[in-house]
Structures are given as structure tokens and as C-alpha cells.
Amino acid sequence: MFRKLIRNAGALLSLIVLMTVVLAGLFAPLVSPHNPTDQQAARRLMPPAWAEHGSQEYPLGTDQLGRDILSRMIYGARISLLVGVAAVLVSGVVGVALGLISGYYGRWLDSLIMRLADIQLGVPTLILALAVVAVLGPGLRNVILVLGLTGWVTYGRLVRGEVLSIRQSEYVTSARALGSTDGHIIWRHVLPNIMPSIIVVATFEFARMIINEASLSFLGLGVTPPTPTWGGMIADGRTYIYNAWWVSTMPGIAIVLTVLAANVFGDWVRDVLDPQLRR
């Protein structure tokens, strides 16, 4: 697997980007040049270092309150990654559990869970998340909960479909004939077989969750200021698109690079782990 990774330049590059973002987020206090919330009124809206009037001290410029954009982007990575990972975990656990129950036990449980999925798909994730956050109030915990609990359908449907075919397989039949319990069969035979597909979907979902979190923060319904978030930074820059393009542009590039890397990496993981899913 590692050798294959080296041979695939795109996948390797995307892994490097992802690792950089993770490390930057983890060691934010050590690697960021400035305090992300430090306001310098005299240094408002300074352009990036390479532009006219730019300064090496603020490589990507400063925002409307004179805060260093690079430092805020590094701290913003923490929120994006945290929400991305946590929301994928919550939705993954809920979705896989419901998908297993639905596919393995079938009958009325299956109908019930699949109808729930249909209802959930009747309202787009972002709109549902928006409405719930609007009532519950913004904040890190609510964002994770809302994105996590609305994202299960993707996993649920995938797992159900795979379990339906695995349930008929000979090794499951023989395990049952040997007297294995349902729990044992699910845990030892079904789950390991569907794990590759789950990992592939989780990679793409991670990318989607980062965009969803950024969208909510952009709309002012995500993680609230003064905590720096990529979406929130882009919202800050909206007012200044006429004279300070960098305020919105820089954090956007961070989102695109991270999400692109996750998507490219996901494509590669799919090709390696699950050739059947290859498109």
C-alpha cells in the first residue's frame, strides 16, 4: 500500500497537504507567527507580503481588525478538522449501526429505518442543520451534533445494501450453522467486509463536513467569533472585497486545498481498498 502511494503523485501530494493541515492545527501555538486574536489598529487591512505595501511580518496580510491572517488560518484549521472528524465519527457510528440493523434484521425494522432515511432526505442537510442551529443557537457542540446526526443516511444506505448481499453469502450461512450468535456474525464477518467501503465514504464525507461547517460559520450559525474559523474569516472579508481581496481569498484557498486533498485521497483509497467501487 505504501509503495503504491509513492507511485501515485496526486495521492502523495494530497496526503502531504492533509498532514500539513493536521500538523499546523495541532501545533498552532508553536507555528503561527502571531496571536490570532491580537488586534493592531495601526495595521488594519495590510496586503500580503508580495503585494505593494505588504510586510514580511504578515505573510498573508491582515484583516479589518489588524489581525494576522496566516495565524488565524492556522488556528482555523483546528475547528475545521475537529468538526470534520467529530461529525464523521458521529454520523458514521449512527449510520453504520442503523444500516447494519436495517440490512441484517430486515422486515419492519428495515422499513422503519429506510423510511426515516427518506424523510431525512426530504430536507437538505444544510437547510436542516441551519434550522436546528437557528433554534438551538450556534456553537461548536451544536454544529458537531447537527452535522453528525443529519449525515447518517449516506452510511446507512451503503451499509444496508452491502449487508443484504453479505447476509446471503456462504461464510455467513456456515457461521450460523456453527451456532454463532448474530452479534458475533455482525462483528466478525459482516463488519470487516464492509469496512473498506465505509472508510472510502468517510473520506469523502470528511471533505463534505468541512465545507458544511465552513458554510454554517460563514452564515454566522457555526462556531462563533472570536474563535477563528475559515468560514467566519471569509464572512469577515465580504465587506472588503472592493479594497482588500485577500481577507476572503486566503481562508478560501485553505478550504479548497484541504477539501481537494481529502477528495483526491478518497479517490485513491477507493481504488486501492475497494476496486469494485472504482468508477
Query: How far apart (Å, rounded) are the C-alpha atoms in residues 93 and 189?
Result: 18
User: Under rule CB under 8 A, how many of the chain's residues touch another protein?
Assistant: 45
Three-state DSSP class for residue 129 = helix
Cell reading at 126: 444544510
C-beta closer to another protein: residue 185 or 262: 262
Query: How far apart (Å, rounded) are the C-alpha atoms in residues 215 and 232?
Result: 9
Cβ 188 to another protein shortest distance, Å: 34
Cβ 249 to another protein shortest distance, Å: 7
Binding flag, residue 135, another protein (CB under 8 A): yes
Q: Please state whether 179 falls in left (phi above 0), alpha (psi between -120 and 50) or beta.
A: left
Q: From the list 11, 202, 214, 269, which residue makes contact with another protein (rule: CB under 8 A)?
A: 214
Q: How many CA atoms lie within 13 A of 100 on its CB side?
A: 21
Binding flag, residue 51, another protein (CB under 8 A): no
Query: How far apart (Å, rounded) are the C-alpha atoms in residues 193 and 93?
Result: 16
Binding flag, residue 108, another protein (CB under 8 A): no
Cβ 175 to another protein shortest distance, Å: 34
Q: Which stretch binds another protein (CB under 8 A): 57-65, 164-172, 177-185, 256-264?
A: 256-264
Query: How far apart (Å, rounded) are the C-alpha atoms in residues 74 and 230?
Result: 9
C-beta closer to another protein: residue 185 or 214: 214
Core vs surface per residue 112-132: b (16+ CB within 10 A) or e: ebbeebeebeeeebeebbbeb
Binding flag, residue 7, another protein (CB under 8 A): no
Q: Which amino acid is at 200?
A: V
Q: Which stretch binds another protein (CB under 8 A): 98-106, 128-136, 175-183, 189-197?
A: 128-136
Binding flag, residue 33, another protein (CB under 8 A): no
The enclosing H or E element of 143 equals helix 140-150
Query: How far apart (Å, rounded) are the C-alpha atoms in residues 175 and 180?
Result: 6
Q: Which stretch binds another protein (CB under 8 A): 43-51, 86-94, 178-186, 259-267?
A: 259-267
Query: How far apart (Å, rounded) are the C-alpha atoms in residues 7 and 45?
Result: 43
Omega into 275 within 30° of 0, i.e. cis?
no
C-beta closer to another protein: residue 139 or 193: 139
Q: From the list 18, 259, 265, 270, which residue makes contact with another protein (rule: CB under 8 A)?
A: 259
181 — phi, psi (to 5°)? Answer: -80, 165
Q: From the list 19, 26, 51, 124, which residue makes contact with another protein (rule: CB under 8 A)?
A: 124
Cβ 35 to another protein shortest distance, Å: 25
Which residues here bind another protein, judged by CB under 8 A?
115-116, 118-119, 121-128, 130-132, 134-137, 207, 211, 214-215, 218-221, 231, 234, 237-238, 241-242, 245, 248-249, 252, 255-256, 259-260, 263-264, 267, 279
